[in-house]
Structure 1
Amino acid sequence: MTATMRARRGDDLASRPWTGTKRHYDLFKELTVGLVVIGVAVLGLSAIFGSPDDRGVTLQDWAKAAPTDFVATTAAELAGTSDSAGYGPPYTDIAGATQTLGPIDLQSFSGVRIPVHPATDFVIHPLSLLPSQPAALAVWRAADAATQTRWATAYADALAKAPDGDPARVAPGPYGPVPVLSADLLAMARSGALDGAIRSEGGFAGLDATRSTLFLGDGAWFNGLATNLHLGGDQWGVMNETGDYPGQAWLWLFSLWYQIPAIGGAPNADVLVVGLMAVLSIALLLVPFIPGLRTLPRLIPIHRLVWRDYYARRRG
């Protein structure tokens, strides 16, 4: 048969009338179902089962909700006793601050990539941006480092002894300009100006929230807020949802080890957990190559229960 005859025969087949079953098709109805009905179902299920989208916490929220904690944290930043001040790499270069695993110092491998000076970045520099700089700022700058630390430490200790940590009820003492600096920073935070001032230290367009987050984390209010939202380490750790279920289930693999006192209470708990998870992950990858371990499925044939239909047909 020539190509011309095959083409002509194909044309004849395509031109034949359809003699099979016909059914009415409503394109508009399909479009309505696809967009409206499915859209309503998705939005409804998202509202019922979706993760909450809480607004980000700011320094202004902190200053308004827990002013005493804000002032106490400010004093700790000036004294150099906050968590951020003694964290080590990648923020600060503090001898002996890193977590090690024997002779291995993983935390120092990256070096100080994001230099953070809590007293300057969180307190002194933001206050210097005020239109009318407080006189206490000049007094602070004129003092040497030892005097500054002595002032801030004394004030932090006095705050801890004051009823309810209220700055207004602190006993008189040699605090230098620290009470005034703390009060001015509190007022700056309540106005909302402190958030922008600290974010401006983070580079282009103030998109780096590292310093703001560190400052928040040094206080007790932020950690309490996380616990109230069920985000603590013994509440499944960090997750998108604010309940124990469903959460990001894979995080329990890490959070579990922190609940063991010997690990969670160790000064190098983070390194221990990361190292343990690395060993377990490598062991999981090597399961097919470990003699004895790779034969466990034959000794404990749980997979045959899962795929019992397949094995029943195979036996048949």
Structure 2
Amino acid sequence: MSWRKGDNIAGRPWRGRVRDYDLFKELTIGVIVVGLLVVGLSAIFSSPDEPGVTLKSWAAAAPSDFVATAASELGGTSGTAGYGPPYNSTADASQHLGFFNPQELSGVRLPIDTAQDFVINPLKTLPTPPPALATWTAATAAQQAKWTADYSAALAAAPDGDPARVPSGNYGPVPALTGALLGMATAGNLDGALQNSGQPYNLDYTPTILFLGDGNYFPNLAAAAHLTGDKWGVMNETGNTPGQSWLWLFSLLYQVEPYKSSPNADILVVATMLVLSLLLLLLPFIPGLRSLPRKIPVHRVIWKDYYANR
């Protein structure tokens, strides 16, 4: 039987007002007028177009932070060095939901040795690599760790973290290596060295982003642009401009307990959103929930003219 037959509301004759439909006018308003409004409002209210952050701009703006980060990469104490899969096999570093640990299941798919990949190998690409490379390579892992730990502590104690004001000490080749890397970054050569994948076109900025994220300069820029999650969270644009509205629920969950303080917040939020999405998808099949529109007829209030004339 056709849905137009019978006594259902869609099959009843329309008793309301009838008027001509002007398709050309509708098309004009829908395309031209709305298009002009979108372009105009975007020009007035759009988020600022911030310039991209590079290792060169970081080295120029915050050289002390760059050197401190390079030392932590050498010593294996940076955030990337202890991140776990997919970059390394650091124990107990990944988020999990009970026994389910997707990071561990994926394994180390993008292996990164921060000392080699972020410092040593880029320095080897210089026309004249620093002699300190040979000293570093010849040292034991324990000696390398001691050099970097001592130098990192000295940097932290120096006024403004300035490498030039670090007191004399047994830091081995670490000051020379980090200084050479700073010079390489300042000249604009480090970005290309880190992103050199051997392919004609490189679209993988993972090493650069990880290196940037290990320092304080990049996170401080995010905080200044309100991108740290304490206001709009993951639905924010640069500045104080809200972005993707469909991410509001993700952002909300990060602001409430138990997600807010959980070390497994990301996987908890994703799992919660999956459950909510399944509930929405299966809503027509869930007894009780599927009857809510009939019991709470909000739609009749919204389209009251339609229902009044049926």
Q: Secondary structure at the match of 2:290?
A: coil
Superposition TM-score, scaled by structure 1 size: 0.81
Query: Could you say what the CA RMSD is over the residues aligned between the two structures, in angstroms?
Result: 2.4
**1:86-121, Cα deviation, whole Å (9 max, x unpaired):** 111111122222211111111122222222111111
**Residues 202 and 211, structure 1, Cα contact 8 Å, conserved in 2:** no
Distance 1:244 1:290, change over 3 A: farther
Residue in 1 aligned with 2:121?
125
Q: Where do residues 1-316 of structure 1 align in structure 2 (5 Å cutoff)?
A: 44-201=40-197, 203-238=199-234, 241-314=237-310
CA distance, structure 1, for counterparts of residue 35 and residue 98 of structure 2? 56
**Residues 236 and 251, structure 1, Cα contact 8 Å, conserved in 2:** no
Q: 1:239: how far off?
A: 5.1
The percent identity for this pair of structures is 61
Q: 1:298: how far off?
A: 2.7
Distance 1:151 1:259, change over 3 A: same
Q: 1:75: how far off?
A: 1.0
**Residues 60 and 191, structure 1, Cα contact 8 Å, conserved in 2:** yes
Residue in 2 aligned with 1:16?
none
| 4+ aligned runs moved over 6 Å, structure 1 | 37-42
Q: 1:38: how far off?
A: 10
Distance 1:147 1:279, change over 3 A: same
**1:139-184, Cα deviation, whole Å (9 max, x unpaired):** 1011111211121122112222222212122233332111111111
Distance 1:99 1:42, change over 3 A: closer
How many residues are paired up?
A: 280
Q: Show structure 2 runs of 5+ residues with no match.
A: 1-30
What letter matches 2:294 in structure 1?
Answer: R
Q: 1:244: how far off?
A: 4.0
**Residues 232 and 242, structure 2, Cα contact 8 Å, conserved in 1:** no
Q: 1:45: how far off?
A: 4.5
Q: 1:203: how far off?
A: 4.3
What letter matches 1:287 in structure 2?
Answer: L
What letter matches 1:266 in structure 2?
Answer: S
Residue in 1 aligned with 2:26?
none
Q: Which moved more, 1:62-71 or 1:204-213?
A: 204-213
More helix by share: 1
Distance 1:39 1:235, change over 3 A: closer
Distance 1:86 1:279, change over 3 A: same
What letter matches 2:207 in structure 1?
Answer: R
**1:271-292, Cα deviation, whole Å (9 max, x unpaired):** 1111111111112212222222
Q: 1:245: how far off?
A: 3.9
What letter matches 1:220 in structure 2?
Answer: N
Q: Secondary structure at the match of 1:171?
A: coil
CA distance, structure 2, for counterparts of residue 45 and residue 285 of structure 1? 35
Q: Show structure 1 runs of 5+ residues with no match.
A: 1-33
Higher-Rg structure is: 1
Higher relative contact order (CA 8 A, sep 6+): 2
Q: 1:76: how far off?
A: 0.9
What letter matches 2:131 in structure 1?
Answer: A
CA distance, structure 1, for counterparts of residue 64 and residue 130 of structure 2? 21
Distance 1:57 1:268, change over 3 A: same
Q: 1:308: how far off?
A: 1.5
Q: Secondary structure at the match of 2:269?
A: helix
